[in-house]
């Protein structure tokens, strides 16, 4: 028999929470790759709004952030014709499958999750069951769409590992239901650190507004923040563990321009930090300006935005329902 050759793309899934303004760190660390990935893979991208409520949210603010996050996904160049772009809470199979998986997940597994410990410390007055068990919902998010790969950073690696463990256990008990996803390490990306404390990762939760750059910041704000970025007294543009501040700026400039750190060092040899910080700020501003313009266009037409995500919701639901009913049938439910 002749071998069947298929050009079917491998599947990739990635989700992002609508938990506030997305930063340059989110963009360079993950989002910048999403547009390119949809050319190589069959991509599914979701606004993971159900995960946002493990901590208290203001309803009106949460609603606005869901719209905003979806509009940013479109502004990044994610194409609804090439990829599936949807809102998690609009596909009921996520919470339904989460219950099936919860009944096949051990208490001890959840209690060892490092993010539960971290968030419990930060939100001591609201250590809820959802905060404890949300990795199971995350496993459902992944497994419903049978992806081959899931892009992960260091802080999400444990969640993919638990999703794989749950899927393997379920398959061993009930038969072949879930594909076991592999971690995907992007070809390009960066761990972007705080502009004010380069020992810490850039985070929108940082109280110092100069520590992070938002994807939607205007050019003047971006350049001002980079001019105020913490460096050191050596006044030499060089990658070095002894110079975390300037090394962070070199990383940012390198990822945006496509130049190697060595090329960046050569470009700014003999020039001061002032020139370099201005150049980084301008490069970042030029990179983000088209995204901001597209975002303004999408967020300004709510009806069109809703039309796009409703279509994406239906595409996602068709795939999710197939997986969910297969799992239900294997467990023994009457369908």
Question: What residues are annotated to the active site?
Answer: 119, 201, 204
Give the contacts of 283 (CB within 8 A, at least 6 positions apart).
253, 256, 257
Q: Which residue has the tokens 């596909």?
A: 91
The Cα 130–Cα 110 span in angstroms is 11
For 220, the token pair is 């003047």
Residue 89 DSSP label: G
42 and 32 Cβ atoms separated by less than 8 Å:
no
Q: Which contacts (CB < 8 Å, 24+ apart) does range 199-208 have?
A: 199/244, 201/25, 202/23, 202/24, 202/25, 203/23, 203/25, 204/20, 204/21, 204/22, 204/23, 205/20
For 216, the token pair is 């939607």
62-89 burial, b at 16+ Cβ within 10 Å, e below that, comes to eeebbbbbbbbbbbbbbebeebbbbbbb
Closest CA to 16 of 3, 33, 2: 33
């Amino acid at each position: 028999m002749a071998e069947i050759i298929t050009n079917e793309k491998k599947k990739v899934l990635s989700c992002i929470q609508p938990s506030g303004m997305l930063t340059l760190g989110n963009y360079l660390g993950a989002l910048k790759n999403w547009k390119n990935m949809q050319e190589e893979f069959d991509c599914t991208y979701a606004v993971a709004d159900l995960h946002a409520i493990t901590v208290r949210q203001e309803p009106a603010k949460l609603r606005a952030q869901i719209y905003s996050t979806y509009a940013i996904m479109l502004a990044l160049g994610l194409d609804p014709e090439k990829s599936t772009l949807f809102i998690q809470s609009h596909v009921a199979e996520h919470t339904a499958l989460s219950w099936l998986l919860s009944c096949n997940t051990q208490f001890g597994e959840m209690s060892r999750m490092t993010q539960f410990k971290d968030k419990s410390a930060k939100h001591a007055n609201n250590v809820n069951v959802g905060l404890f068990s949300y990795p199971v919902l995350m496993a459902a998010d992944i497994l419903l769409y049978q992806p081959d790969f899931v892009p992960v950073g260091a802080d999400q690696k444990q969640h993919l590992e638990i999703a794989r463990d749950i899927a393997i256990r379920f398959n061993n008990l009930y038969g072949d239901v879930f594909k076991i996803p592999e971690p995907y390490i992007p070809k390009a990306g960066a761990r972007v650190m705080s502009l004010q404390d380069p020992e810490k990762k850039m985070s929108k939760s940082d109280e110092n507004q100069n520590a992070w750059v938002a994807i939607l910041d205007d050019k003047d704000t971006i350049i001002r923040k980079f001019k105020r970025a913490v460096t050191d007294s050596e006044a030499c543009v060089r990658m070095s563990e002894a110079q975390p501040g300037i090394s962070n700026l070199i990383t940012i400039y390198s990822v945006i321009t496509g130049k190697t750190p060595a090329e960046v060092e050569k470009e700014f040899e003999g020039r001061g930090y002032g020139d370099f910080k201005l150049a980084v700020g301008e490069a970042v501003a030029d990179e983000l300006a088209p995204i901001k313009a597209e975002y303004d266009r999408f967020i300004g037409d709510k009806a069109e935005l809703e039309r796009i995500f409703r279509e994406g919701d239906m595409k996602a639901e068709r795939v999710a329902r197939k997986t969910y009913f297969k799992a239900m049938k294997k467990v023994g439910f009457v369908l």
